[in-house]
A and B are shown apart, each in its own frame.
Chain A
């Protein structure tokens, strides 16, 4: 028994939307970062599902690259967050009011 492609797409759609809503609603930068990771993982589900469907390895190769980029992104992001926490002792984005129009 194989799982149909549409199941994967629905799952990835739900994970992606969870991530988008998390980025838009949560106020803690770490949680926002986690939500971005959810979005990226939804993408990976898509790639692997399509890769299986097409019998094409290209999608899985893309996942490796996406994972690498996500790791680099987290490294840079956490470094920025730590530097910001040292300067302001908070990581709640509502507290960052120096810059606004």
Chain B
């Protein structure tokens, strides 16, 4: 066995991202501070190259290319997530430019770390072996720990990094222990071997159940599902806003992608067990995320709890896939998770972009109070925030409604109508705290004595906001292209 050209070719997008990351870090010391924008544009160039390659890599949707003796696969499922991740990463880089300058932390290595995190995520979504999935997860997490602590002058940022690091390393340890037990059961860490070993061992082996629970706990930390969510609010609040947006969207999407592949392809034989486990997790996640978000006064913290709640909604789609009995099997459930996370990306990125550009004097406008009377002073920013909040609450005709619609439909089809009803009830609860932001912006008079909010804008940021708002509204009105893309992509996941 040797390194074949075709294997390297299959991994070309990952290699380009890693090479670009190294190049950015190497160029950083010799780039004058005034020209650091060039590093961002270099990263964006690498991303668009990868986008072209990834789209071109698979001509037919049912093809499944394995590389490096089945360590990674290139299939339509991975392609869906990679396209989403390129988009999210590109938009994050664009919105970081003005934000990092305003916070005076415009460091070149930031772009290097974003690209390294992206390469980890790409390996996660393509991994067909627990080894590669674990390595991808770690590469993503390690880069995110550093990015969280980027604002070294703020103790809050460092504290968030330390908390994230401790809990992230703890969860990786649990995940790895689960992986080692699965290896002990199957004699290999390949998902396909694990699936066939479960077929022969039967599902009632206690070792397998313990391993499954440990792997589920490890992934639940990464997905920020209750009761493994404690790091989320602290980290989302403490991290620089552009990093928070990246974590909330890209890291969550990649974790869900790897999580679904592991549980469907590797542990599919234990469907009955894990779907019950995740049913409980989804329920408590929904309830706690939505209820605790109500009492938050910091908008980043509120969005952290909202992101926990959204993980709960996406998990409902996953549970529906595990419970599905109909002729189309788990396809609608899995596709609904993909649709949900893709749509969630637009509204969350948009909301964080607005938060990142709002400044009060020297500091960032991140308290909900800072939005008081924004509609009078900055009508356009207030309107954009309104659109994102409406979409996060899941009110038609926005993308958030479409996402919830497909998840709930999948749940009803799988015979979980009661779960969909509870989720709908808590979507109504969530409307309360999202609408509070809108109320503060539109109904309250700005306090004349207070420092007027100021916006840090740039053409790049306007472009990000335009993309986000276009995604929210266009996919809300015409969801079909995305839905059929997700339905086709999910077919390679077996």
Residues on A facing B (Cβ under 8 Å):
9, 12, 16, 19-20, 23, 29, 32-33, 36, 39-40, 42-43, 46-47, 49-50, 53-54, 56, 58-59, 61-62, 65-66, 69, 72-73, 76-77, 79-81, 83-84, 87-88, 93, 96, 98-101
The answer, yes or no, to whether B202 is at the interface (CB within 8 Å) is no
Contact A50 B159 (CB under 8 A): no
Cβ–Cβ contact B159 & A96, under 8 A: yes
> Given A56-B187, A72-B142, A76-B146, 7 other A-B contacts at CB below 8 A?
A29-B166, A33-B166, A33-B169, A39-B174, A46-B177, A80-B162, A81-B162
Query: Does B329 have its Cβ within 8 Å of any Cβ on chain A?
Result: no
> Once the chains bind, are B234 and A100 in contact (CB under 8 Å)?
yes
Q: Which residues of B contact A (CB under 8 A)?
A: 131, 134-135, 138, 142, 145-146, 149, 152, 155-156, 158-163, 165-166, 169-170, 172-174, 176-177, 179-181, 183-184, 187-189, 233-234, 237-238, 292, 295-296, 301
**Interfacial chain B residues near A54, Cβ < 8 Å:** 187
The answer on a CB contact under 8 Å between B187 and A50 is: yes
Q: Within the assembled complex, what's the spacing in Å between the Cα atoms of A58 and B181? A: 14
Query: When the two chains form the complex, which single residue of A20, A77, A84 contacts B169, counting CB atoms closer than 8 Å?
Result: A77
Residue contact A84 to B158, C-beta cutoff 8 Å:
yes
A93 neighbours in B (Cβ, 8 Å): 162-163, 166
Q: Is the CB of B149 within 8 A of A39?
A: no
A40 with B156: CB separation less than 8 A: no
Whether B152 and A83, one on each chain, are in contact in the complex, defined by CB atoms closer than 8 angstroms, is yes
Cβ-defined partner of A98 (8 Å) among B159, B176, B301:
B159
Please determine whether A58 and B173 come into contact, CB atoms closer than 8 angstroms.
Answer: no
Tell me, rounded to whole Å, the shortest Cβ–Cβ distance linking B43 to chain A: 21
Is A80 in contact with B234, judged by CB distance below 8 angstroms?
no
CB distance from A68 to the nearest CB of B (A): 9
Could you give 19 example pairs across A and B, Cβ below 8 Å? A43-B179, A46-B183, A62-B180, A66-B176, A77-B166, A79-B146, A80-B145, A81-B162, A83-B149, A84-B158, A84-B162, A88-B158, A88-B159, A96-B162, A98-B238, A99-B156, A99-B233, A99-B234, A101-B233
